[in-house]
Amino acid sequence: MAITTGLVLAVAGCGGDSEGQKPSNASSSTLAPQKKPDDKAKPETPNSPPASDTVLAEVKGGKNVTLVINSAVRDAGGYVTVNGIVKNGGGFWNPGTWSGSERELTANGASMAGASLVDRAGKKKYLILRDTDGRCLCTKFTGGFKTNDEKVFFAQFPAPPATTNKVDFQIADMPPATIEISEGQ
């Protein structure tokens, strides 16, 4: 026990650097600036405003549902993030069929998990990205859509080759929406 106590005290005393600065135990002031850039990089949530007022595409599907795509940005990390709005012009609607038919995606519930990008020129389909637990990197809608509800969405995909700048965004029974990919930072 004496050895353990000695080790704990020795490690606790090693917080500063060799120039006599104070130990870095004020982690809240150190962490706050580091978290701000991450907050900007977080995908939009269903209750946040869309990324821009630009409309790249707008399609209408069954049950009077409208899908508006505001942006499609290729990031340096090798993925494309699509942002937009889903509008319900009819009665209560649950986008359960939008989660896709892949077994891995069934746990995503009513979400954008079934979305894909299609590169017609390159003849390739890009499926939604997933984390290691099989959750899509996309918006999950909770509570369905009441009449006239609008909810923002995001969906992330592997990026097509840099020479591809137009793709079709597809989900469930909605018609394909041809969108242009812009370059991110």
Q: Where are the domains of the chain?
A: 45-183
Question: What pTM does this model have?
Answer: 0.70
**What pLDDT is stored for residue 52 in this prediction?**
60
Question: How many CB atoms within 10 Å of residue 96?
Answer: 13
Express each pLDDT in 57-72 by its tens digit.
Answer: 999 998 899 999 999 9
User: Residue range 24-53: average pLDDT?
Assistant: 41
Is the pLDDT assigned to residue 25 strictly greater than 80? Answer: no
Regarding the domain delimited by 45-183, which CATH topology (the fold level of the hierarchy) does it fall under? Immunoglobulin-like (2.60.40)
**What pLDDT is stored for residue 29 in this prediction?**
34
% of the chain residues with pLDDT over 70: 71
Q: CB–CB of 114/101 below 8 Å?
A: yes
Q: Is 183 helix (H, G, I), strand (E, B) or coil?
A: strand
